[in-house]
């Protein structure tokens, strides 16, 4: 008998009918003889509704109270799912994050899980019950409710699977696996049978929100096999697991994109040691994360141009900080652009193949798509382009690298 953790996302529990359907799926899985722990999200749209409610009162809302509010979405779903299970004669018990005691740090809205007490869950499983846990939430040392960041129910599921030494963590969602790119953008995207932790981590960090980044970090650190599956149709899904050395590596596994970034450029800053530190220091002191950075020196070497990207939510604040700093440093001009998108190719096969970057650049050039920034690592190449080219760019790259064909 194995222990399986199943997580159902917002769309999968989006209505009473869908929660009933989840109850049937849980009962069917249990009938195979496995112990089942279920993690659920809030019903689709609910967390957004709570966010707007809070922001209509104060923006930003008090961080502690914001988490008290946001955590209620998942509490509704655990109650409804257990009612559905019990009504079908399946013994079940629901727990909020704090009842389990999913201990987190106190970073409200983006707390990290520190420890999970699995005693109550184990007792329930031994007594033959299904355990249903509210995703996305925990409790800190002081007993305050915390939440784990948007999409955090994935992380609750993987963390529980780790703590309970589950055989597999199954993430049920509204697509039947991880695709070569978001199937909502490219209809010819192909479902992957398998993807390595490392590649999934890159895909998630570069914008593929099918899994929260932290859930992949957790899975990779503790070696928990994760499978992404559809709640609505049967199928093998996609297994996320350690790199399979015996398999021929695909050159490119997938294309990720991120619509949440904005770009800031400082032109004509005197080129002297410490300039990068002075500009970016002002930004990081405000707790704003910087992603891509490019610095160019003017032909006469006297001044430099400096471009970097930040999250769009931080754009206005970063622009005003940098404008003030640039004035102080005697820069010629500061400008910004929040109509950009970052498109990234990801694949461990890149390690051993040259020429991928040039194919990428040629493909975009053939469509008249201007590249504004480039960054590379061992297993990814990212470019920043105008956001109007998102769909076209992803589609032509998907074709150029023949991603619709199985590797």
Q: Which of 120, 131, 100, 151 is nearest to 5 (CA)?
A: 131
Q: Does 151 bind ligand ADP (CB under 6 A)?
A: yes
Out of 65, 105, 174, 198, the only residue in the binding site for ligand ADP (CB under 6 A) is: 174
**CA dist 34 → 2, 388, 405 (Å):** 5, 48, 36
For tokens 């899994």, the residue is: 211
Residue nearest to Mg ion according to CB distances in the complex? 151
Choice between 9 and 177, CB closer to Mg ion? 9
- Rounded-to-integer distance, Cα 90 and Cα 100, Å: 20
Going 98 to 100 to 104 to 110, the CA torsion angle's sign is: negative
Choice between 121 and 200, CB closer to ligand ADP? 200
135 binds, among Mg ion, ligand ASP, ligand ADP, none (CB under 5 to 8 A by kind): ligand ASP
Q: Does 151 bind Mg ion (CB under 5 A)?
A: yes
Peptide bond preceding 60: is omega within 30 degrees of 0, i.e. cis? yes
Choice between 161 and 397, CB closer to Mg ion? 161
Min CB(71)–ligand ASP separation in Å? 9
42 binds, among Mg ion, ligand ASP, ligand ADP, none (CB under 5 to 8 A by kind): ligand ASP
Order of strands, sheet of 254-258, starting from the edge strand that comes earlier in the sequence? 254-258, 340-346, 380-386, 373-377
Choice between 232 and 361, CB closer to Mg ion? 232
Order of strands, sheet of 145-147, starting from the edge strand that comes earlier in the sequence? 113-116, 102-104, 137-139, 145-147
Cross-strand partners of 335: 265
Q: Does 10 bind ligand ASP (CB under 6 A)?
A: yes
Q: Does 43 bind ligand ADP (CB under 6 A)?
A: no
- Please say whether the beta carbons of 392 and 364 come within 8 A: no
Stretch of residues binding Mg ion (CB under 5 A), selected from 63-71, 150-158, 246-254, 321-329: 150-158
Min CB(44)–ligand ADP separation in Å? 7
CB atoms within 10 A of CB 385: 20
Q: Which of the residues 123 through 152 are near ligand ASP (CB under 6 A)?
A: 135-136, 150-152
Q: Report CA dihedral (253, 154, 171, 241) to the nearest 10 degrees.
A: 40
Choice between 10 and 268, CB closer to ligand ADP? 10
**CA dist 235 → 40, 99, 141, 231, 403 (Å):** 21, 34, 41, 10, 21
Instruction: Map residues 186-225 to x or -, x wherever contact with ligand ADP holds by CB under 6 A.
Output: ----------------------xxx---------------
Q: Does 41 bind ligand ASP (CB under 6 A)?
A: yes
Burial status of residue 327 (CB atoms within 10 A of its CB: 0-12, 13-18, 19 or more): exposed
Choice between 232 and 267, CB closer to ligand ADP? 232
Q: Does 73 bind ligand ASP (CB under 6 A)?
A: yes
Out of 66, 136, 179, 401, the only residue in the binding site for ligand ADP (CB under 6 A) is: 179
Min CB(70)–ligand ASP separation in Å? 7
- Rounded-to-integer distance, Cα 295 and Cα 403, Å: 33
What is the rounded end-to-end Cα distance, in angstroms, of the chain? 35
Q: List contacts with ligand ASP (CB under 6 A).
A: 9-10, 41-42, 47, 73, 135-136, 150-154
Q: List contacts with ligand ADP (CB under 6 A).
A: 9-12, 41, 151, 173-175, 178-179, 181-184, 208-210, 254
């Amino acid at each position: 008998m194995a222990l399986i953790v199943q997580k159902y996302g917002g769309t999968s529990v989006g209505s009473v009918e869908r929660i009933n359907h989840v109850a049937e799926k849980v009962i069917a899985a249990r009938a195979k003889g496995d112990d089942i722990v279920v993690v659920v999200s809030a019903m689709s749209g609910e967390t957004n509704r709570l966010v707007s409610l809070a922001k209509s009162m104060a923006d930003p809302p008090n961080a502690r109270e914001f988490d008290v509010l946001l955590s209620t979405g998942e509490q509704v779903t655990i109650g409804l799912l257990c009612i559905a299970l019990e009504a079908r004669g399946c013994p079940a018990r629901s727990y909020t994050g704090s009842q389990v005691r999913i201990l987190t740090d106190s970073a409200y809205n983006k707390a990290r899980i520190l420890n999970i007490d699995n005693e109550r869950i184990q007792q329930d499983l031994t007594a033959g019950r299904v355990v249903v846990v509210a995703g996305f939430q925990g409790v800190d040392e002081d007993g305050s409710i915390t939440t784990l960041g948007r999409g955090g129910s994935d992380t609750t599921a993987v963390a529980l699977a780790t703590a309970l030494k589950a055989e597999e963590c199954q993430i049920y969602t509204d697509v039947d696996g991880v695709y070569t790119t978001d199937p909502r953008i490219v209809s010819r995207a192909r479902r992957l049978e398998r993807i390595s932790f490392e590649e999934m981590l890159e895909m998630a960090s570069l914008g593929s929100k099918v899994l929260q980044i932290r859930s992949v970090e957790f899975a990779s650190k503790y070696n928990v096999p994760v499978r992404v599956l559809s709640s609505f149709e049967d199928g093998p899904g996609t297994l996320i697991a350690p790199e399979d050395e015996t398999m021929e590596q695909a050159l490119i596994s997938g294309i990720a994109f991120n619509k949440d970034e904005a770009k800031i450029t400082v032109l004509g800053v005197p080129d002297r040691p410490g300039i990068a530190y002075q500009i970016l220091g002002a930004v990081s002191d405000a707790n704003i994360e910087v992603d891509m950075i490019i610095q160019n020196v003017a032909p006469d070497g006297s001044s430099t141009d400096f471009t970097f990207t930040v999250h769009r939510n931080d754009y206005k604040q970063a622009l005003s900080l940098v404008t003030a700093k640039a004035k102080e440093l005697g820069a010629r001009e500061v400008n910004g652009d929040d109509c950009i998108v970052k498109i990234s190719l990801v694949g461990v096969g890149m390690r051993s193949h040259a020429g991928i970057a040039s194919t990428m650049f040629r493909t975009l050039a053939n469509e008249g798509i201007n590249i504004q920034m480039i960054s590379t690592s061992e297993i990814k190449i990212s470019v920043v382009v105008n956001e109007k080219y998102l769909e076209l760019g992803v589609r032509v790259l998907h074709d150029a690298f023949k991603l619709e064909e199985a590797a």
